[in-house]
Chain A
């Protein structure tokens, strides 16, 4: 059974870098054709895809955050990570990691972590 678990600080100071890790069990992040992504939900708002990394290490980011976001993978540890720099209160959100599963040519987010709340505050 595939499981994903987010970990990292729950409180980050403004202007600092938010760092989260997603530990994957039950599948390898280097398995062919899968992507692994980060999604967030600010309080009272909707879901926002942030960025993803492919099985081969290619990365993809939402345009609005591209200058501040890095998604990276650690194959030996079977983890992938999110770094978001120069954070502000607007980055306060529940952060989810998820797998982009696929069927034929169709991609979708089929497995999710439980989410972790990150608050940006001094």
Chain B
């Protein structure tokens, strides 16, 4: 299985901050990389697919970039509702592994 490694595991930020989360794949996955937001007690929510395509209805402050093995999720101006855990997930092969998550907290 392809291994996905996120950094950092957690970060503290304030409203209005620019936040960047990175994800590295154990082998090249082209742009087959998705990002999800997960809040306690709720289902995960798709934010970005194909490394940089914004899912319908997701605010434009979220953006993704990268290809091959290195990827980034950026929140341009952190809002109160963005405090959550973020996961990357590869869809390169039919073994859809997740990163370990990055918790964004105050």
Contact in complex: B98, A108 (CB < 8 Å): no
Q: Is the CB of A62 within 8 A of B87?
A: no
The reply to whether A52 and B94 form a contact with Cβ atoms under 8 Å apart is yes
| A34 to B: closest C-beta gap in Å | 13
* Chain A residues closer than 8 Å to B99, beta-carbon distance: 46
Once the chains bind, are B101 and A47 in contact (CB under 8 Å)?
A: yes
A106 touches B91 (CB 8 A): yes
| Bound CA–CA A41/B46 (angstroms) | 16
The B interface is mostly helix, strand or loop, or mixed, namely loop
A-B contact count (CB 8 A): 71
Q: Cβ of A27 < 8 Å from any Cβ of B?
A: no
Q: Is the CB of A107 within 8 A of B38?
A: no
Encoded as 1 (CB less than 8 Å from any B CB) or 0, chain A from 80 to 110 comes to: 0000000000000000101010011011111
A-B residue pairs in contact (CB < 8 Å), sample of 24:
A39-B44, A46-B85, A46-B87, A46-B99, A46-B101, A47-B44, A47-B87, A47-B89, A49-B89, A49-B95, A49-B96, A52-B94, A62-B95, A96-B44, A100-B96, A106-B32, A107-B96, A108-B49, A108-B91, A109-B34, A109-B89, A109-B96, A114-B42, A115-B43
Count of interface residues, chain B, beta-carbon cutoff 8 Å: 26
Cα–Cα, bound, A103→B101 (Å) = 24
**Chain A interface secondary structure, helix, strand, loop or mixed?**
strand
* CA A107 to CA B55, docked complex, whole Å: 12
Query: Least Cβ distance of A63 to chain B in Å?
Result: 5
> B residues bordering A, Cβ < 8 Å?
1, 31-32, 34, 36, 38, 42-44, 46, 49-50, 53, 55, 85, 87, 89, 91, 94-101
Instruction: Say if the beta carbon of A48 comes within 8 Å of chain B.
Output: yes
Is A106's CB under 8 angstroms from B50's CB?
Answer: yes
How far is A59 from B84 in the complex, measured between Cα atoms in Å? 31
Is B98 in contact with A46, judged by CB distance below 8 angstroms?
yes
Question: A104 contacts which chain B residues (CB < 8 A)?
Answer: 50
Tell me whether A113 is interfacial, beta carbon within 8 Å: yes
Q: Are A47 and B53 also in contact (CB < 8 A) when A96-B43, A107-B91 are?
A: no
Q: How far is the CB of B93 from the nearest CB of chain A, in Å?
A: 9
